[in-house]
């Protein structure tokens, strides 16, 4: 991983420790490099009334918007285990709302080894996006 990916991984791991995951025990972190040059991070927040929780990617997107960023330039997700933790289907669609199809999506396990490098289009082929809607 290059310098920016390492910085994203550090940010995602930092907030991952703060996740609220008492039901699954699956602590996830996400970090976004936004169009404003800032990095925004988020963690998953579970709720006893499933599915009322928030995924790490959704939390990071909310932080980006609250902080003034508007577009995702790069996103990294991380979680427990050695295998890369990829965004769920719903989060892939959320990422689609705020990024381009060629936006890099980096997924890693907690140890940071064996990263999966892909684009949003590879993770969400034939997707539906805002440009399809008649505004």
Q: Please report, for residues 20, 46, 79, 84, 99, the alpha-carbon distance to residue 93 in angstroms, rounded to integers and kept in the order given.
A: 23, 20, 19, 19, 10
Put the strands of the sheet holding 116-119 in their side by side order: 39-43, 29-34, 72-79, 104-109, 116-119
Q: Would you please indicate which residues are annotated as catalytic (active-site) residues? A: 57
H/E stretch holding 10 reads helix 3-16
């Amino acid at each position: 991983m290059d310098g920016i990916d390492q910085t994203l991984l550090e940010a995602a791991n930092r907030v991952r420790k703060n996740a609220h995951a008492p039901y699954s025990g699956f602590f996830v972190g996400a970090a976004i490099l936004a169009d404003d040059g800032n990095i925004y991070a988020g963690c998953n927040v579970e709720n006893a009334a499933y599915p009322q929780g928030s995924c790490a990617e959704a939390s990071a997107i909310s932080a980006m918007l609250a902080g003034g960023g508007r577009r995702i330039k790069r996103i990294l997700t991380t979680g427990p285990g050695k295998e890369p933790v990829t965004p769920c289907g719903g989060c892939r669609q959320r990422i689609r709302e705020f990024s381009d199809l060629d936006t890099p999506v980096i997924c890693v396990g907690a140890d940071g080894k064996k990263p999966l490098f892909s684009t949003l289009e590879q993770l969400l082929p034939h997707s539906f996006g805002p440009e399809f809607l008649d505004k």
